[in-house]
Chains A and B, each alone.
Chain A
């Protein structure tokens, strides 16, 4: 069958990706600029036997997808900054209880209600550290419409593989932009499912080796007995205050991501091999940055770009290696320097890190980044 080439919106591609990954349950509270995801899920899920429910708010939405996932369904919600703030409590619950769920955050200007229809990338740190306590989470950042599809599929896969919440961190430009895309056929996709238990006898929902192991997950309603709680718990799922149990659980949760960082990290590079000024960017800022890098090359400056497709885990090793061989790393982002902070930390002062911030609700113009590259090259 010939592949369909069509004009598709980022939010639409995200929804189509979720459905391709096996989405069966969506709960949400519509909010600009993510609303199209809810609208499309409401239309499409009933056609495939799934469920869409509009909840009373974002807290309830996050709780509903966790409940659905516990019954064995793949579940997702979509929101923007104000809603994502409300969901943090439940994101932590999903992390501790090891419930695979996908949160889509189409970022707009914040804090608070901010600028509802304008793009920003201010939720980078919130996506990693928004809920309290150390906790595992994976955060992916699509840089174009096709990647909204691909990375939503991947978010489900990683979420299922490691039993962690996964965040697809988009922004208004990426979510609302329409582009010519050619999506892969369903048969070409690799779809992963959570590890399944072998026997009901002696089933322990939180039993795994401490070296990054992922315990098998039984769906509720199929005869397995297990307990889910936001309290620290032992391998049976029942609460425990024992220091050795708490330590073991916390370290195992972190190891699920830490021990598999190299297989999770994902980025694309442009002209990095011989580059003297490197740009590290993500999401829609990276579109402006790519244009700027190409302009700089045309102007005789050896510029290149590392574009993050996973922000968390962050590619520390790659940034460190890069920082040792470039003059400067330019970090354009639509916030006051959240990814730049991590670049500074990763580069250990080996290279100058130049923050280029845009916080007025508009996408960067390529010239703004071009100027920063040319300045850094001097």
Chain B
């Protein structure tokens, strides 16, 4: 079965890295994974989108067609990609205002504030989001995600990032219930 993820927000939020870690976690579990991206010419700011396709089978088309999960961390990303959603679930940051244009099933999760206020580092919002995505999708297990995070994040930041991942995993449960 093919599971499609779209991670959207603004450039510099680290969504590309989150997508890479998600794909690497899937591979650690013996699945196939493809990660693609699209972004504007800006180094920071501007719309940014990473996509991950996970499957037990061979993956021909590498991009998301009808995402099973959309993560949106900005209002712009929520409106732009939210309204394209069909069967899938939208996971939007709690700070993003609701939009009448988005009709897909939606959960609101305090990803940005968990990173900035609770963990004191807004740069780990991507890893908090990864924890949320992992739990909500059921695509990968927490221990695998932990390994994948440790393999990718800069040396010396492992503890902070693992904490962020686990907090994401926890707040996802609260949001889903």
Contact = CB atoms under 8 A, between A and B. Distances in A.
Interface of A: 5-7, 32, 116-118, 173, 176-180, 284, 287-288, 290-291, 294, 363, 365-366
A334 B40 CA distance: 19
Given A5-B27, A6-B27, A117-B41, A177 B61 contact: no
B74 interface: no
Contact of B27 (A7, A118, A173, A291): A7
Interface string B58-83: 01111101000000000000000000
B38 A178 contact: no
Interface stretch (B29-37, B91-99, B106-114): B29-37
Interface of B: 20, 23-24, 27, 32-41, 59-63, 65
A95 to B, nearest CB: 33
B61 A7 contact: no
B36 A177 contact: yes
Contacts of B24: 6-7
A290 B38 CA distance: 22
A7 B36 contact: no
A366 B65 contact: yes
A291 B41 contact: no
A178 B34 contact: yes
Given A5-B27, A7-B27, A180-B27, A287 B62 contact: yes
A5 B33 CA distance: 12
Contacts of B37: 176
Contacts of A116: 41
A294 B63 CA distance: 16
Given A117-B41, A177-B34, A179-B34, A7 B23 contact: yes
Contacts of B36: 173, 176-178
A291 B23 CA distance: 21
A288 B61 CA distance: 5
Contacts of A177: 34-36, 62
Nearest to B31: A180
Nearest to A367: B65
19 contacts: A5-B27, A6-B27, A118-B38, A173-B36, A177-B34, A177-B62, A178-B34, A178-B35, A179-B62, A180-B27, A180-B32, A180-B33, A180-B34, A287-B62, A291-B61, A363-B62, A363-B63, A365-B65, A366-B60
Q: State the 7 A-B residue pairs at the shortest beta-carbon distance, nearest first.
A: A291-B61, A178-B35, A291-B60, A290-B60, A7-B24, A180-B27, A116-B41
B39 A287 contact: no
A136 to B, nearest CB: 33
B23 A287 contact: no
A116 B39 CA distance: 10
A53 B59 CA distance: 37
B152 to A, nearest CB: 10
A7 B62 contact: no
Contacts of A117: 38-41
A155 B65 CA distance: 33
B35 A287 contact: no
A304 to B, nearest CB: 14
Contact of A7 (B33, B38, B59, B65): B33
A116 B62 CA distance: 20
A177 B64 CA distance: 13
B21 to A, nearest CB: 9
Given A116-B41, A178-B35, A179-B34, A7 B60 contact: no
Contacts of A32: 41
Contacts of A284: 62
Contact of A287 (B40, B41, B61, B65): B61
Nearest to B59: A179
A284 B36 CA distance: 12
Nearest to A290: B60
A287 B60 contact: yes
Contacts of B38: 117-118
A337 B143 CA distance: 49
Contacts of B23: 7, 178, 180
Contacts of B35: 7, 177-179
A284 B65 CA distance: 15
A366 B61 contact: yes
Given A176-B37, A177-B62, A287-B61, 12 more contacts: A173-B36, A176-B36, A177-B34, A178-B20, A179-B33, A179-B35, A179-B59, A180-B33, A284-B62, A291-B61, A294-B60, A363-B62
